[in-house]
Structure 1
Amino acid sequence: MTASTHPVRRLIRILLIGAALIAVTAAIGMGIGRSSVSFDRLLPTLFGQGTFKEHFVVFSLRMPRVAITLLAGMALALSGSILQSVTRNELADPGVIGINSGAGIGVALFFLYSPIDVGSFVYMLPLVAFLSAVITAILIYAFSYSRSRGLDPIRLVLVGVGFSLALSGMMIVLISSTDRQKVDFIAKWLAGNIWGTDWPFVWALLPWLVLLIPFTLFKSVRLNLLGLSDSSAIGVGLRLERERIVLLLAAVASAAAAVSVTGGIAFIGLMAPHIAKALVGPRNQFFIPVAVLLGGWLLLLADTIGRNLVDPAGLPAGIIVSLIGVPYFAYLLLRK
């Protein structure tokens, strides 16, 4: 009994530490900035005892941004966790293998040419990003799959990187053919700037995570089986291609929902699952909850640092994440 409960106790302890890190980072993020709220006033303001200015800064400026960043980081980490398990490739990440770029092309085209009114624009974004990312994922999957060997994990990463570069080129073509104001938006998106910072963006992103996190945990045993060889997975009765496609769609949906409000942020989906596996082991039902919390915390931390590092506008969170993520990706590539 002790042997079976020990990993569960460790998981609970790490989840509590992760939640505490998120709470502390969120408090710092809400307190500091161009319009600061002193930390001793933060709790009274949260409980309705603040001044009008404090209430406005916390509830209208800081809290929606903290919530969006946290949810987007969670979504990217969830996507990366699924991709790494399904493809059996530790280098898989929605940003690295082109899914984020695919979603971004859809968002950019929608932003530039859609006649949709502003009121419903926010809620349409995740759906548009999802459809665009699905088309990209289907193409990447088709080019990575062979009838004789099935899905080749190394080929998937290489094809994905190729698609990512090609789609980035398409984005540059889009930028060159549109007006200045809209160019600024796409440039910020490419840099990974958290641009959706109002409450409607939170409500647009939240339902996707509410559905996808429990769904992925429900499928965690199948994800464990997908980590085995194809013959072993089929031998235990797993409908291999069907499960792969369903779980890849979940990964695409999770990444697309995040990308639609945060822009092109890579490496969260790469780093969070790796750190989680190092902490609690490779079983999906253990490391996925930890990875989701870590992803949320990493992006929240990156945004808090970037927002306050350079005046007046700060650095995009995507650049801060890349400063850590690129060397980490290179280390994993060399190790493999």
Structure 2
Amino acid sequence: MENAVDFSIERKRHKRAIGVMIVLGVLILVAFLISMNTGYIRLSPADVVRTLFGFGTSKQNLILFDFRLPRIVISILIGAGLAVSGCVMQAISRNALADPGILGINAGAGLMVMLFISYYPSTSAAPVYLLPVLALCGAGLTAALIFSLTFKRYRGVMPTRLLLTGIAVAAAISAATIVLTLRLSPEKYQFVATWMAGSIWGTNWKFVLSLMPWIFVLIPFVFYKANVMNVLNLGDLTARGLGTPVSREQLLLLAAAVGLAASSVAVSGGIGFVGLIGPHLARRLVGPKHQYLLPASALAGMLLVLVADTIGRWILQPSEIPTGIVVAIIGAPYFLYLLAKSK
């Protein structure tokens, strides 16, 4: 009887999770279509359809295929990468406030990219495919520093200590970044300032191709580890009792999370809060089981970044607000709300 009840509850959860993901997918599609019609030079829905099917003018093809579509695709990839990265970090640390931006991972990746831009002769000629690798080095070193300061031999990773250490390291890295900007030329300073605000600056298909391998390899790997994350949420002692090699799995998942965050930051700048809001919204909608939570987090992150980028391009035309600022306007109050609720 109990098995039948449990099966019925699980089936309802499964149906609800599928329904939520379908709704999020539809909302992403709607935002995608609206974003293609949004910009300084307006394309009507009919113009977009004609251009997509190869009947647009050369000007319409240039606007849609060379400017808008790459940026939309990058927004979607970045949203998925940052949200899944945040979800993994929350599972590893068992801390609902963990996020690659708050913990300093984004700042570490950004510092390495900024160092490269500072000493490279021309920002426009910077090798696109090298930036995610440099960002990964910076993010990896930052993550190693934070976890070495947080980890205790017999107690593992302590959630409160992790959060406070991450905030302190992020503040130190941000201060170092600001100091380094003082030696930049005016044009490089303008680029770095925009990048730090969270502007999606990589807006051509080369940046899409540089980001896709990281997203399409690491996200399926994380999804494959969903059961491991479910066990890790039970606590280190319970996980070890169930035969899970906790330290090894935490290290693998951390490496995946850092890779996702770093590759996203390399082309998006310092966009924060996506890794916090996406998993939290998904958890409220589909529950804590990672088989549903991870894909729902990815979809929520996609929707958040795509909508924020569309608003940023539309609200102050012909100028635009960096996507990171729009996300921060949404995310900062939500973070304070979560901090107030946490025990």
| Interval of TM-score (by shorter of Structure 1 and Structure 2) | over 0.9
Q: Which one of 153, 164, 173 corresponds to residue 158 of structure 1?
A: 164
Equivalent residue number for residue 13 of structure 2? 7
Q: Which one of 187, 197, 200 corresponds to residue 194 of structure 1?
A: 200
Equivalent residue number for residue 136 of structure 1? 142
Q: Which one of 307, 312, 329 corresponds to residue 306 of structure 1?
A: 312
Shift of 1:120: 7.0
Please list, as runs of the form range in 1=range in 2, the aligned pairs for 1:75-86 lying within 5 A after superposition.
Answer: 75-86=81-92
Equivalent residue number for residue 23 of structure 1? 29
Change (3 A) 1:192 1:118: closer
Please list, as runs of the form range in 1=range in 2, the aligned pairs for 1:75-224 lying within 5 A after superposition.
Answer: 75-114=81-120, 121-224=127-230
Equivalent residue number for residue 68 of structure 1? 74
Shift of 1:307: 1.1
Unaligned runs of 5+ in 1: none
Task: Give the letter for the 1:81 counterpart.
Answer: C
Shift of 1:47: 1.3
Number of aligned positions between the proteins: 336
Scaled by the length of structure 2, what TM-score is found? 0.95
Q: Which one of 247, 252, 256 corresponds to residue 258 of structure 2?
A: 252
* Cα deviation 1:106-125 (Å, max 9, x = unaligned): 11111122479977710011
Which deviates the most, 113-122 or 186-195? Answer: 113-122
Equivalent-residue separation in structure 2 for 1:9 and 1:84 (angstroms): 25
Which deviates the most, 208-217 or 47-56? Answer: 47-56
Equivalent residue number for residue 262 of structure 1? 268
Whether the aligned pair in 1 keeps the contact of 2:117 and 2:126 (CA below 8 Å) is: no
* Cα deviation 1:168-187 (Å, max 9, x = unaligned): 10111110012111111110
Equivalent residue number for residue 277 of structure 1? 283
Whether the aligned pair in 1 keeps the contact of 2:86 and 2:98 (CA below 8 Å) is: yes
Task: Give the letter for the 1:79 counterpart.
Answer: S
* Cα deviation 1:33-89 (Å, max 9, x = unaligned): 111110122122111121212111110110001011111011000100000111000
Unaligned runs of 5+ in 2: 1-6
Please list, as runs of the form range in 1=range in 2, the aligned pairs for 1:323-334 lying within 5 A after superposition.
Answer: 323-334=329-340
Equivalent residue number for residue 35 of structure 1? 41
Equivalent residue number for residue 326 of structure 2? 320
Whether the aligned pair in 1 keeps the contact of 2:39 and 2:317 (CA below 8 Å) is: no
Task: Say whether 1:45 aligns with 2:51.
Answer: yes
Whether the aligned pair in 1 keeps the contact of 2:123 and 2:188 (CA below 8 Å) is: no
Scaled by the length of structure 1, what TM-score is found? 0.97
RMSD: 1.5
Equivalent-residue separation in structure 1 for 2:208 and 2:85 (angstroms): 18
Report the 3-state secondary structure (helix = DSSP H, G, I; strand = E; otherwise coil) of the residue aligned with 1:312. Answer: coil
Report the 3-state secondary structure (helix = DSSP H, G, I; strand = E; otherwise coil) of the residue aligned with 1:35. Answer: coil
Change (3 A) 1:39 1:226: same
